[in-house]
Amino acid sequence: MDRDTLVIGAGSSGLAAAKNLGLAGFEVDVVERADDLGGNWNFAAETSRVYGSTHMISSKPFTQYPDFPMPDRAPDYLHHTDVLAYLRRYADHFGVSDRIAFATSVEQLRPLGEARDSGWEVALTGRDGEETRHYRRVVIANGHNWSPKLPSYPGQDDFTGEIIHSADYKSAEQLAGKRVVVVGAGNTGCDIAVEGALRADATYHSTRRGYWYAPKYALGRPADQVSDLIFTLGLPLRATQWLFEQTAKLVVGRYERFGLPTPDHHFLETHPIVNQTLLYHIGHGEIAPVPDIARFDGEVVEFTDGTRVAADLVVFATGYLIRFPFLDDDALPWQDGRPQLYRNILHPHRDDLAVIGLIQPDSGQFCLVHWQTVLLARYLQLVRDNPAAAAVWRQRAADRLDERSQGGLALIDSTRHLIEVEHLDYIQDLAADIAALDALLHDEATRHEVVA
Amino acid sequence: MTWPVRRRPRGTRIRRGPVGAARRPYEPVLRRRDWTLPPPASRHRELISALPDEPVEGRPPLLFVHGAAMGAWAWERWLPQAAEAGWAAHAVSLRGHAKSDAPSPLARTPLRYYEHDVLQAITELPSPPVLIGHSLGGLVVQHVLERYRAAPAGVLVGPVPPAHGLEVLGGLVRHDPAALAAALAGREPRPRAELLVGRDTDHAIAQGWADRMGRESSVAATQALAPRRPRDIRAPLLVIGGGDDRVVPPHAVSRTARTYGVRAHLFRGLGHLLMLEEDGDGALRFMLRWLEDTLHATGRLRASAPSN
């Protein structure tokens, strides 16, 4: 018997997908590999990549689901345990919890045909053993921050110390009393370097280029709120960047003084790094900034400037790969290391497969994911209720498949920005799509200029 | 085949430009004011509840939102009756009203802070509630329904209209200009009793309610005269009002109902505070019957009514 809709993953994206597709009248089943919901935020799970001290890096209003605000009593930036509690309340409130099959993983997704709506054969392994089901449509929400991306340097295999990926970093205890090299200037890398400053014997922070380090607070308010306030001024992009750069210089001065490289790009042109304490610890001599690693040599790590330091532990905070282990490569239109999906959601050739949460915004994730799932729900409703109109909309979407919603920013070329979106640009692209789909769904097309 | 080209529905943007370049805002998706200047967090929000002895399986909770200058106490007559009829009934006090604290000066509180308060109260309930708003609270509920699409139904009781707010202004100017001036200035309105109730209710009792009123935000009261009209409410709506209402007159209630494509139900002899009037019990019974029927018809009453 054909089942209706399967959502893979009960993390922040899967929960929103299940809730909003359910609201649109679809019968949703959710499968979750771990035995609790929360995905990455389910700290107890083996699949979680948060560490003991993880806090949000975007403040509440940007992060929360728009129809389910985070509680007033919570602080501006939630700790990961509070995020999990929030997700649990969200799932309970909207009745999603009852629809999740825990400890159930998807082994294989196989298309039942070439047509747009063929459906999928899903091979599952659950508590009751293996099972194969047929679903009319599948929504993938398996996350993209779990499969470690590991660099490789000469001599790495013969390094006498320990090498871990930040995926295996759980607590500052792991750094205690060690000489630590942290590689990568992402938010995780900076967090771990700061924890190293407090716990390790010595901390070296290796970064490939100079970055802009944004504070968590400005003018006594969460800095993302202030920066969006600046965006509302509607200044030209360069003027906005100049304003941010001058602010950075006003607050911390020149990065070179701290031994950090000069940023080789303008503000906003990399994924934001929000860390207020990194420079503080560098200034206190507790973190030594170093450039990229050149090679390993016994217990020594050599950097590209010739600096050699002895280390006990190297932490690669070098990010994650986009992976769908249950899906054949040709099931998604891969291009340049990412699946090329409309708005990072819709498959160009299929209506029975979509991906939710496959974005890395310069802002909060859940809010954007909410609107992703609303768009998906509206589109699937249109496919169900008015296939002809859906076909026309799809044609237009196909023409815009290469839109990346990056706000016209010249992001530096890095795998880190494969799925980067600029939140204001992206949310307005989603909003425009939702409005157009709404108009078609409610047969209001005649109100607007039309073509035959 | 027709297709809306280029000119998208009002309020959406087309222009592709630099980050943050001025684009037409698209509420409720682009809620930029709520991101950049979020409502200050409340330390205490009053929520009074009346729960049924024997809950009826699958029934959503009810969340009542009071009108200007009042508080959760506005529903003290209806809450126990709703609970007796088998509904879990809750009433919230908006910030700065009754026992809810005001984290920022009440006089400068905009309507969107009230929407935030209602949403915060919603998140404390075990499942999506039916939203019931009276007067100014009725306007707040209209906006919340736009943002919170999981609500199984909405009920507007003598609601401030989503547009044409001048009809309300006209009535107040005629019947009690002093109360209106006080409300707009952020002082306690102290309206005359006959403004608030129908002809059958003892004015001495009504005066008690009038005296119990607190202050209202002058910003919110001013916004209510020309509010943003909610674009898109999908929840089934019931609009009721008092036939003798002098604050939001029957024709304004009817017009609000028409805005949403439904018929208003007006109760003869009742005034603006019909939920406190003795004869208003009939309106509550009518509302609960409507809810029961509507929720059955939309399939929202199933035992395990989850996410749809």
pLDDT, tens digit, 9 for 90 and up, residues A220-279: 899 999 999 888 888 888 999 998 888 888 877 788 889 999 999 999 999 889 998 999
Whether residue B308 and residue A23 make contact (CB cut-off 8 A), yes or no, is yes
Query: Do A353 and A137 meet the contact criterion of CB atoms below 8 Å apart?
Result: yes
Closest chain A residue to the Cα of B38, Cα to Cα:
A61
Residue A427 and residue A296 in one domain? no
Residue A50 and residue A168 in one domain? no
Residues of A in contact with B149 (CB under 8 A): 23, 67
pLDDT at A443: 64
Query: Do A431 and B28 meet the contact criterion of CB atoms below 8 Å apart?
Result: no
Domain boundaries, chain B: 42-297
- Is A452 among the domain residues? no
- Is A196 among the domain residues? yes
Shortest distance between the Cα of B193 and any Cα of chain A, in A, equals 37
Residue A64 and residue A97 in one domain? yes
Which residue among B19, B34, B38 places its CB closest to the CB of A424? B19
Whether residue B5 and residue A225 make contact (CB cut-off 8 A), yes or no, is no
Parallel, antiparallel, or unpaired: how do β-strands A105-111 and A120-126 relate? antiparallel
Residue A259 and residue A345 in one domain? no
pLDDT at B82: 97
Task: Grade residue A446 by pLDDT with cuts at 50, 70 and 90.
Answer: very low
User: pLDDT tens digit string along A383-406?
Assistant: 999 999 999 999 989 988 888 888
pLDDT at B4: 35
**Domain that includes residue A421, residue range:** 2-146+321-447
Query: Do A431 and B32 meet the contact criterion of CB atoms below 8 Å apart?
Result: no
pLDDT at A408: 81
Domain boundary among A316, A350, A376: A316
Task: Grade residue A60 by pLDDT with cuts at 50, 70 and 90.
Answer: very high
Closest chain A residue to the Cα of B33, Cα to Cα:
A229
Query: Quick one: which of A10, A423, A379, A447 has its CA closest to B29?
Result: A423
Domain boundary among A316, A345, A363: A316
Whether residue B20 and residue A232 make contact (CB cut-off 8 A), yes or no, is yes
Strand residue runs (E) in A11-161: 28-31, 100-101, 105-111, 120-126, 129-140, 147-148
The structural domain count of chain A equals: 2
pLDDT at A413: 84
Whether residue B149 and residue A67 make contact (CB cut-off 8 A), yes or no, is yes
- The share of chain A scoring above pLDDT 70, in percent, equals 98
Whether residue B45 and residue A72 make contact (CB cut-off 8 A), yes or no, is yes
Whether residue B232 and residue A427 make contact (CB cut-off 8 A), yes or no, is no
Strand partners, A222: A217
Domain boundary among A286, A316, A346: A316
Q: CA distances (Å), A405 to each of A10, A185, A342, B141, B295, in order?
A: 26, 24, 11, 33, 40
Q: Decide which of 3.40.50.720, 3.40.50.12780, 3.30.420.40, 3.40.50.1820 is the CATH code for B42-297.
A: 3.40.50.1820
Residue A122 and residue A156 in one domain? no
Residues of B in contact with A220 (CB under 8 A): none
Residue A344 and residue A290 in one domain? no
Task: Grade residue A439 by pLDDT with cuts at 50, 70 and 90.
Answer: confident
Any idea what DSSP says for residue B187? Answer: S
Instruction: HSE, CB side, 13 Å, CA atoms: give it for residue B45.
Output: 26
pLDDT at B27: 57
pLDDT at A174: 96
Residues of A in contact with B9 (CB under 8 A): 435-436, 438-439, 444, 447-448
**Above 50 in pLDDT, residue A181?**
yes
Q: Which two tokens stand for residue B11?
A: 């309020």
Helix (H, G, I), strand (E, B) or coil at B179: helix
pLDDT at B14: 36
Those residues of chain B that have pLDDT short of 50 are: 1-25, 303-308
Whether residue B8 and residue A371 make contact (CB cut-off 8 A), yes or no, is no
Residues of A in contact with B122 (CB under 8 A): 68
Any idea what DSSP says for residue B160? Answer: P
Residue A331 and residue A249 in one domain? no
Other beta carbons within 10 Å of A387: 13
Residues of A in contact with B307 (CB under 8 A): 18-19, 21-23, 28, 94-96, 99
pLDDT at B194: 85
Mean pLDDT lowest for which of A177-191, A307-321, A359-373, B197-211? Answer: B197-211
For tokens 């009433």, what's the residue? Answer: B91
Residue A6 and residue A81 in one domain? yes
Residue A128 and residue A154 in one domain? no
Query: Quick one: which of A100, A64, A137, A35 has its CA closest to B307?
Result: A100
Strand partners, B65: B92, B133
Residue A87 and residue A196 in one domain? no
Task: Grade residue A448 by pLDDT with cuts at 50, 70 and 90.
Answer: very low
Element (H, E) at B92: strand B89-92
Backbone conformation region of residue A69, classed left if phi is above 0, alpha if psi is from -120 to 50, else beta: beta
Q: Which two tokens stand for residue A448?
A: 């607007």
Residue A133 and residue A195 in one domain? no
- Mean pLDDT is highest, among A76-85, A271-280, A429-438, B206-215, for A76-85
For position A64, which CATH number holds? Answer: 3.50.50.60
**Above 70 in pLDDT, residue A11?**
yes
Dihedral over Cα of A305, A306, A310, A315: its sign: positive
Of chain B, the end-to-end C-alpha distance in Å amounts to: 31
Residue A230 and residue A247 in one domain? yes
Inform me whether the C-beta atom of residue A402 falls under 8 Å from chain B C-beta atoms: no
Query: Do A203 and A197 meet the contact criterion of CB atoms below 8 Å apart?
Result: yes
Query: Do B103 and B36 meet the contact criterion of CB atoms below 8 Å apart?
Result: no
Averaged pLDDT for residues A160-176:
96
Element (H, E) at A320: strand A320-321
Strand residue runs (E) in A166-312: 179-183, 202-206, 213-214, 217-218, 221-222, 273-274, 288-290, 293-297, 300-303, 308-310
- Is A443 among the domain residues? yes
Most B-contacting residue of A225, A232, A373 (CB-CB within 10 A), to test interface = A232
Residues of A in contact with B43 (CB under 8 A): 72-73
Inform me whether the C-beta atom of residue A231 falls under 8 Å from chain B C-beta atoms: yes
Determine the Cα–Cα distance for residues A223 and A62; give it in Å rounded to an integer. Answer: 11
Q: What is the ipTM of this complex?
A: 0.92
Phi, psi (degrees; rounded to nearest 5) at B263? -100, 140
Determine the Cα–Cα distance for residues B236 and B257; give it in Å rounded to an integer. Answer: 12
pLDDT at B3: 36
